[in-house]
Structures are given as C-alpha cells and as structure tokens.
Amino acid sequence: MLHYITGKVLETNKKKIIKNDFFGVEAVYLGEKTSGDFLLYPHFDQNHSTYFYYAFDNFEQKDFFTLSMKLPGVGAKTAYLISMQNQENLKNAIENYDLKFFQNIPGIGTKTARRIIVELKSSIESKDLSKLDIDEKLYNDIIKTLKPYGFDTEKVKVLLSECDIKLEKSKINEIIKWLLDNYN
C-alpha cells in the first residue's frame, strides 16, 4: 500500500489525482496545496470492494483521521471531513464542547456531535498524559493529594504540562511544591 507521495494535484472530472513523474494516485483531497508532499491513508470500502485513498497535508490531520475512524457512528468520509478542519479550531471545539462546530460538518447531527466530543476529548487527554512523560498512577496520586485541598483538577493538568521538573515518582514532593507555588 502507498502511504506517502510527492507530486502535483490534478483535478479531472471532479476527481483529484496526485501525480509525480512516475505514477498517479486518485485520492480524496480537500486541502489547499497544489503540489508537495502528501500523506496517504488507504481505506478499503466494503460496499464497493475497492480501496480509496485519503490525502493529508500533515501527520496531525492523518492522526485525527485514524482517531475519528475509531468512533462509533463515524465513517471514513465523516472522519476525513473532521480531520481536514483547521486543527486549532478542532482542538478548541473539543475542549469547549462546541456542538455547533461539529454539526456544521456534513453528516453529523446533535447526537453524533456529542459522542464525537466526548470520545475525542477522552482520547486527546490520554495522549496529553503520555506527552507529559508521566504514568497514570503518578498523575492520579498528584490529583488525589491536591483535590481534598480544593485544587481544580483541570487547572492542575494545565500546570503539570508546564512543569519543567521531570515528572517521576521520586520527585512527587518537589512537583507538588512546584504546583503549590504556581497555582493562582
């Protein structure tokens, strides 16, 4: 399967082909580039017994596509439309539970928008935890330590992402002290 191509986008009969000097690939592409590097995702459509390629400008779009494909009630076309949204607007819509943002995407109604937000929010938070280089048990220990004293869980998450101390169990006292010093 092909997953990457450098070439030019040609449009013929409402179909887009990404072509280089050697071959071309018909792909669903909603980006604005006319040439350059493209990431491809081959998707087998069981209804038509054929592969469709979806083209992306960057890994972030492709990652959102694969994440969206796992959501119940979201097919490849809808997942692609979600992933091709402005990434910053998409993240803000998830963070702020913006149903209207998702309802403006063709094929998404109120129930599906709610499901998408809940599923993506939990998936993104899980990824953020791994980016913090912290295991879930340590994270939960920090939250459990601070919560009885009235600390907001969401604010603690944000602060942990900004903490310059390596987040490891041996430094939990130092991390909590840093959180107390930086919690406004």
Residues 32 and 91 in one domain: no
> Is 66 found in the same domain as 28?
no
- Residue 124 — pLDDT band, cuts 50, 70, 90? low
Residues 82, 118: one domain?
A: yes
Contact 55, 3 (CB under 8 A): no
Return the residue matching tokens 């499901």.
Answer: 115
Q: Dump pLDDT digits (tens) for 1-48.
A: 789 999 999 998 888 999 999 999 999 999 999 999 999 999 998 888
Query: What is the per-residue pLDDT across 45-102, written as a single tens digit (0 to 9) for each?
Result: 888 888 999 999 999 999 889 989 988 889 999 999 999 999 899 989 988 889 999 9
Do 120 and 72 have their domain in common?
Answer: yes
**Are residue 136 and residue 125 in the same domain, yes or no?**
no
CA–CA gap between residue 179 and residue 146 (Å, rounded): 9
Task: State the DSSP H helix or E strand holding residue 10, giving kind and residue range, or none if neither.
Answer: strand 4-12
CA 71 to chain centre: 12
Both tokens of residue 12?
């013929």
Domain containing 171 equals: 132-182
Model's pTM, two decimal places? 0.65
DSSP count for the chain of H helices, then E strands: 8, 5
How many domains does the structure of the chain reveal?
3
Same domain, 4 and 41: yes
- Report the alpha-carbon distance of residue 61 to residue 93 in Å, rounded: 15
CA distance 12 to 16: 6
One-letter amino acid for residue 95 of the chain? E
Is it the case that residue 132 has pLDDT exceeding 50?
A: no
150 lies in the same domain as 115: no
Q: What is the mean pLDDT of the chain?
A: 85
